[in-house]
Amino acid sequence: MVKADFSRSDQALLEAASATARKLADAGHTVLFAGGCVRDALCRRPVKDIDIATSARPEEVEAVFKGRSVSVGKAFGVIVVLCGRYQFDVATFRNDGAYIDGRHPEQIHFSCPEEDAQRRDFTINGIFCDPFSREIIDYVGGLADIERGIIRAIGSARERLEEDHLRMLRAVRFAAVMEFTIEAQTWQAICALAPRISRVSVERIAKEFVRTLCEAPQPSIALNMLRESGLLVQFLPEVVALYGVEQPPQFHPEGDVWTHTGMMLDGVEAPRDPVLALGILFHDIGKPVTYSYQAHPKTGEKRIRFMCHAEKGVKMTGNIMSRLKLPNSLMVAVQELVGHHMRFIDAHKMRRATLRRLLGLDNIHHLLELNRLDSLCSNGDLSGWEFAVDQFEALKDEPALPPPLVTGRILIEWGFKPGPQMGLLLKKLYDAQLEGQLTTLEHARKMLRLR
Ligand code: ATP
Ligand code: MG
């Protein structure tokens, strides 16, 4: 008899889940651990949360946990039970009726564990375990698929993916995160139905995608699956466009922009910070549209160039991330990485004030890491990165950037008009301050030729 192994999991979580299950069992109900927790325990991974499935109807669950339950998902037979600092989804065994909108079942019927297993998405997610003996109850062949490393839809793959299109992205995520392969029929169904992913809300798509990017040991494999299946082009055509974009071989012996981007993502250990992961994904997003083959204006050297691709990339990143309804704060941070990713090339020539500002950016740690990977995954020249890290270390002992001596308000008091000119003036004055040439307001008035 195979048992689930929860030894790598939070034991307090496990105890709370077992105590919750015990209360239901004592009231005469069948109760099982279900879904992701059983899968992760069988893979000897730490489980993050524990889902409980039971024969008790939602009202019966509420009666057992009087005052300690929340009935948000009651229509789907799910009651949230609170237990100390933990909470558990307690779901009545059910079978889902016909699906209406490619995402939700029209009706649900309460039923038995066998049928409850059948309504789940993939065999690896359809296994139950006894909460007390930890013995496995497997109606769908999930254990064998875990052993073989296979993601397989339960029942007819085509039907399961037609019911709920988000399952296509879930299949890729589970395959990438667990380093499993997608079984042939499931894969074929994904390829056939890929365009339908656009019927799923962008929020859900973005959530699955960002999780995949942040959690997969090798995101390049996930990106290849997403591109080859035809899923990626539905929500990130700009990323698909990186595929096949040639780069000058002397700087990029690794190959096209797609390969380069995937290598960089693989170079960061999971779990990745979404700022860094998306920063890498989008850092060269401006390359396909700025591609040119031309001579250098001064040296005359002819080669592939991507003029102003970082600036273009910032705009594109903004468009993409707004379209995917990702949080604004995340977008601003990612744009910072994209916009500044080329700046370390001439860091050694920078004026001190400019360098200080660059190294004072909010996301400088991510930017430095992105730069290191950018070099490592191309020609391997780390000199720009090393210089920046040395400077960063040296600057640490200096006080933080001082507030600007001259502000917009002061300039207005002095008779200047707000506008782009004033912005330039403020930058010039602040640079002078950082260089040590401007120490008083008197000084500033002199520089501006005011009396
Ligand atoms: P993770 O929490 O790591 O994403 P999980 O398997 O726990 O993995 P959840 O979304 O928490 O995923 O769902 C819990 C369980 O509910 C799954 O294991 C699966 O059995 C079932 N499930 C979730 N989403 C779907 C779906 N879209 N279609 C069918 N079954 C699903
Ligand atoms: Mg889960």
Report the 3 state secondary structure along 309-371.
HHHHHHHHHHHHHHHCCCCHHHHHHHHHHHHHCCHHHHHHHCCHHHHHHHHCCCCHHHHHHHH
Output the CA 23–ligand 1 centroid distance in Å.
24
Atom 11 of ligand 1: nearest residue by CA position: 36
Output the CA 144–ligand 1 centroid distance in Å.
19
Q: Does the beta carbon of 89 sit less than 6 angstroms from any atom of ligand 1?
A: no
Q: Does the beta carbon of 142 sit less than 6 angstroms from any atom of ligand 1?
A: no
pLDDT, tens digit, 9 for 90 and up, residues 167-226? 999 999 999 999 999 999 999 999 999 999 999 999 999 999 999 999 999 999 999 999
Give the pLDDT band of residue 132 (cuts 50, 70, 90): very high
> Six-digit token pair at 241?
């466009």
pLDDT, tens digit, 9 for 90 and up, residues 260-315? 999 999 999 999 999 999 999 999 999 999 999 988 888 888 899 999 999 999 99
Q: Does the beta carbon of 102 sit less than 6 angstroms from any atom of ligand 1?
A: no
Q: What is the C-alpha separation between 311 and 320, in angstroms, rounded?
A: 15
Q: Does the beta carbon of 160 sit less than 6 angstroms from any atom of ligand 1?
A: no
Output the CA 145–ligand 1 centroid distance in Å.
16
Domain spans in the chain, listed from the N-terminal domain onward: 1-144, 272-394, 408-447
**Selected residue with higher pLDDT from 107 and 222:** 222
Which atom of ligand 1 is closest in space to residue 121's alpha carbon?
Answer: 29
What distances in angstroms separate CA 371 from CA 55, 86, 255, 270, 383, one per listed residue? 55, 40, 18, 18, 11
Q: What pTM value is reported for the model? A: 0.90
Strand 94-96 relative to strand 108-110: parallel, antiparallel, unpaired? antiparallel
Output the CA 96–ligand 2 centroid distance in Å.
19
Which atom of ligand 1 is closest in space to residue 48's alpha carbon?
Answer: 2
Atom 12 of ligand 1: nearest residue by CA position: 36
Output the CA 194–ligand 2 centroid distance in Å.
24
Segment 362-390 mean pLDDT = 93
Output the CA 248–ligand 2 centroid distance in Å.
44
Establish whether the linkage from the previous residue to 271 is cis, with ω within 30° of 0: yes
Segment 306-329 mean pLDDT = 97
The ligand that comes nearest to the alpha carbon of residue 215 is 1
Mutational pocket test of ligand 1: of 39, 40, 51, the residue with most ligand atoms within 8 Å of the beta carbon: 51
Of 114-118, 197-201, 244-248, 365-369, the one with minimum mean pLDDT is 244-248
Output the CA 155–ligand 2 centroid distance in Å.
21
Q: Does the beta carbon of 113 sit less than 6 angstroms from any atom of ligand 1?
A: no
Q: Does the beta carbon of 116 sit less than 6 angstroms from any atom of ligand 1?
A: no
**CATH code matching the domain that covers 1-144, chosen among 3.40.190.10, 3.30.70.600, 3.30.460.10, 3.40.1190.20:** 3.30.460.10
